């Protein structure tokens, strides 16, 4: 775990406030507006002025992508238990890291991501017990998206419930995977949901900060 003394005071204050929010929330949620605030605290959110508006590589993108990779690594075993013969999640981790190192172009990263998206679409009607695995796969797909376009910070006051599922971020999909289902649906474990968000705040974000 990263020593909190290594974090800037304003970032640590945001984390402390977010932790209190999770503990006080009736569903132990870390709401999207707070997540966006935390993600932006990791560094500048820069877009290319050209089309398509790929993210500009820099400290902010590097940390946010590292944060996504940490999420995917946490939930990857859930995918592997569900789909042991489909190494797609490990492939997405590799693509996200390769993009950060500029070993592949944005288009190459997106081409690779499309392979997992295809797998997810083929399994869209999976039984309830496979939904955590599907959510882990969605988190992995969003990690590559973040490496190419950065996190979606548009409409920063909108909650996850206000958005189409295709707009949910890597962190929220990770929470769904870890807790067994989308919040409120059958199979959802609130204690696991709280555990995930406290891990995200106490470990994943500090480690992402230290990564760049």
The 10s digit of each residue's pLDDT in 116-154 is 788 777 766 778 889 999 999 999 999 999 999 999 998
Angle at 142 between CA 59 and CA 85, to 5 degrees: 125
Count: domains in the chain:
1
Q: Which tokens is 5 given? A: 């003394």
Among 2, 37, 31, 3, which residue's Cα sits nearest to residue 172? Answer: 31
Among 150, 148, 152, 168, which residue's Cα sits nearest to residue 160? Answer: 168
On whether the CB atoms of residues 96 and 147 are closer than 8 A, the answer is yes
Q: How many CA atoms, within 13 angstroms, populate the side-chain half-sphere of residue 132?
A: 21
Q: Percent of the chain scored above 90 by pLDDT?
A: 82
* Predicted confidence band of residue 180 (pLDDT cuts 50, 70, 90): very high
Among 11, 10, 30, which residue's Cα sits nearest to residue 20? Answer: 30
pLDDT score at 123: 67
pLDDT score at 4: 54
Q: Percent of the chain scored above 70 by pLDDT?
A: 97
Provide the whole-model pTM: 0.94
pLDDT score at 47: 87
Domain holding 11, by residue range, is 4-210
> 208 pLDDT exceeds 80?
yes
pLDDT score at 124: 66
Q: How far apart are CA 199 and CA 209, in angstroms?
A: 14
44-58 pLDDT, tens digit per residue, is 999 888 888 899 999
Q: How many CA atoms, within 13 angstroms, populate the side-chain half-sphere of residue 194?
A: 13
Among 52, 61, 211, 70, which residue's Cα sits nearest to residue 147? Answer: 61
Angle at 205 between CA 48 and CA 2, to 5 degrees: 130
Q: Where are the alpha helices (DSSP H) in the chain?
A: 9-24, 32-40, 59-82, 88-100, 106-122, 131-149, 170-179, 190-199, 205-210
Average pLDDT, the chain: 93
* Predicted confidence band of residue 38 (pLDDT cuts 50, 70, 90): very high
> 20 pLDDT exceeds 90?
yes
Return the residue matching tokens 């993108």.
61
Q: How far apart are CA 175 and CA 132, in angstroms?
A: 9
pLDDT score at 203: 97
65-117 pLDDT, tens digit per residue, is 999 999 999 999 999 999 898 888 999 999 999 999 999 999 999 999 998 78
196-207 pLDDT, tens digit per residue, is 999 999 999 999
């Amino acid at each position: 775990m990263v020593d909190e003394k290594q974090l800037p005071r304003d970032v640590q204050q945001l984390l402390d406030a977010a932790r209190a929010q999770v503990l006080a929330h009736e569903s132990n949620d870390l709401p999207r507006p707070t997540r966006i605030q935390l993600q932006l605290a990791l560094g500048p959110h820069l877009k290319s002025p050209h089309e398509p508006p790929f993210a500009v590589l820099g400290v902010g993108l590097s940390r946010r992508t590292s944060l996504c990779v940490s999420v995917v690594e946490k939930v990857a075993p859930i995918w592997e238990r569900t789909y042991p013969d489909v190494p797609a999640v490990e492939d997405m981790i590799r693509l996200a890291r390769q993009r950060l190192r500029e070993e592949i172009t944005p288009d190459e990263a997106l081409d690779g991501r499309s392979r997992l998206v295809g797998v997810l679409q083929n399994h869209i009607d999976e039984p309830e017990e496979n939904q955590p695995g599907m959510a882990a796969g969605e988190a992995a797909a969003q990690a590559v998206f973040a490496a190419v376009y950065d996190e979606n910070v548009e409409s920063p006051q909108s909650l996850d419930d206000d958005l189409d599922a295709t707009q949910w971020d890597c962190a929220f999909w990770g929470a769904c995977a870890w807790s067994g289902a989308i919040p409120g649906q059958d199979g959802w474990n609130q204690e696991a949901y709280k555990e995930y968000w406290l891990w995200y705040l106490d470990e994943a974000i500090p480690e992402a900060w230290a990564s760049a």
